[in-house]
Amino acid sequence: MTDATTPVTPRSKKSVSLTSPDARTQKRKAAEARFRMYGIAGIATGIFCLIVLLTSILASGTGAFQQTFISVQVYLDPAKLDKKGNRDPADIAKVSTFGYTPLIQQAVFDAVQQAGIETPLTRSKDMKALISASAAAQVRDVVIADPTLIGETIGFRILASSRVDGYLKDRVMREDVARDKNIDAEHLDLVDALVPLGIVEKTFNMDFITGADASESRAEAAGIGVAMMGSFFMMLVVLVLSLPIGVAASIYLEEFAPKNRWTDLIEVNIANLAAVPSIVFGILGLAVFIQFMHLPQSAPLVGGLVLTLMTLPTIIISTRASLKAVPPSIRDAALGVGASKMQAVFHHVLPLAAPGILTGTIIGLAQALGETAPLLLIGMVGFIASNAPDGIASGLLDPNSAMPAQIYEWAKRADPAFYERAWGGIIILLVFLISMNTLAVILRRRFERRW
């Protein structure tokens, strides 16, 4: 060997202690620490994104749960509302909301005068900017319901316009008002003066949770309640169809299916369907349910059918997992005492797998509840569903929206006041999703059996 002849390269002049690391070890240790830091940074970024997402939802959405109202005494002038003076409901119904608007403006103006606020706005018409366009309809509904009120002075809590609402929620800034033709700085001064008097106040907004969507110009009146009903009916369809079909399919595949081509085909199909983009299911729904079968457009029934097809793979996969978890000894015991195969499965295996199936179903439903894209194609956007359905048939067949579709609709509108509604809608949607998932976790913890 040539070891002896090779000159020994002097490593370093200093003698190296074993306890102090040399340069290479230090480098490796630094690399180790760096790598670890990358990992921590990855997780931190992920969690940071989650926090940013949740805070921006909460920060922008909580405003939707509060709404500015103006409390005024409206004099229901008989000269305007009932010109003939005979209190005939048919005549009163003929007076459109235009007849009511001046009365409300006058009422707000009177309130300002009484409070002795100095303002350059000297005409009652100047109050228009403060009042929501839906206030007149609100007063009109009360009058039509009870025509005897005409001639009296009634206290109303009417919606303030979305600009006033935005001003009190710091969404509308004074700097922006100069460019805004809907409201002037004088109006904001007036609002500032009215707030301490309690005439203008910001309170909890139940109408957002229970109400219907409103037209483009009345952001302050829009609510998500009707869309919630639409979502509810869709989920009803999904539950009624996907649970039995999913469970039946899983039982067949897990317990009875022979190993053959057909079974393989079904398995491959289910795996692929789980990966098909949701919009493709929308195309399917449009082509098959609407174009071919002529089911009504925008109906929760069609939405439910499409979402059923989408959730089926999820439910089948989780049901099969929970069927698989039931040990074979249970089946053997049942067969041993003379049960048929069918009886063993339906009387013993299925009840034991039920908690797992239920959990999977709830998670599948939660997924379906938040799905939007297929709903756009079957027409559950773009119109205003103004009335809550009054029965199961109308709930299933009448055009309606759904929560995520409603949120999308608001996000598309130009007025930033609707963005607040969209975030608020998301909070409600997430509350539903969180409670469903929590329920699933609780069920799993409570009933899960380890064999």
45 is an interface residue for other proteins by CB under 8 A: yes
Shortest Å distance, C-beta 310 to other proteins: 9
Tell me the two tokens of residue 290: 């609407």
**The one among 197, 209, 257, 439 contacting other proteins by CB under 8 A:** 257
**The one among 393, 438, 445, 448 contacting other proteins by CB under 8 A:** 393
Q: Which of 169, 147, 301, 292 is nearest to 237 (CA)?
A: 301
Site for other proteins in 290-309 (CB under 8 A): 290-294, 297, 309
CA atoms of 255 and 248, how far apart (whole Å): 10
276 is an interface residue for other proteins by CB under 8 A: yes
Which of residues 292 and 451 has its CB atom nearest to other proteins in the complex? 292
Name the DSSP letter for residue 72.
E
Site for other proteins in 328-367 (CB under 8 A): 340-342, 366
Task: Write the DSSP string, 212-272.
Answer: ----TT-GGG--SHHHHHHHHHHHHHHHHHHHHHHHHHHHIIIII--SSHHHHHHHHHHHH
435 is an interface residue for other proteins by CB under 8 A: no
**Site string (160-189) toward other proteins, x via CB under 8 A:** ------------------------------
The answer to whether the CB of 333 falls within 8 A of the CB of 340 is no
**The one among 21, 85, 89, 244 contacting other proteins by CB under 8 A:** 244
Tell me the two tokens of residue 135: 């206030």
**The one among 16, 21, 52, 141 contacting other proteins by CB under 8 A:** 52
256 is an interface residue for other proteins by CB under 8 A: yes
Which of residues 61 and 99 has its CB atom nearest to other proteins in the complex? 61
Which of residues 132 and 231 has its CB atom nearest to other proteins in the complex? 231
277 is an interface residue for other proteins by CB under 8 A: yes
**The one among 16, 26, 50, 264 contacting other proteins by CB under 8 A:** 50
**The one among 133, 312, 344, 417 contacting other proteins by CB under 8 A:** 312
The answer to whether the CB of 121 falls within 8 A of the CB of 186 is yes
314 is an interface residue for other proteins by CB under 8 A: no
370 is an interface residue for other proteins by CB under 8 A: yes
**What residues does 160 pair with on adjacent strands?**
131
245 is an interface residue for other proteins by CB under 8 A: yes
Name the DSSP letter for residue 160.
B
The answer to whether the CB of 231 falls within 8 A of the CB of 402 is yes
Burial 326-347 (b: 16+ CB within 10 A, else e): beeeebeebeeeebeeeebbee
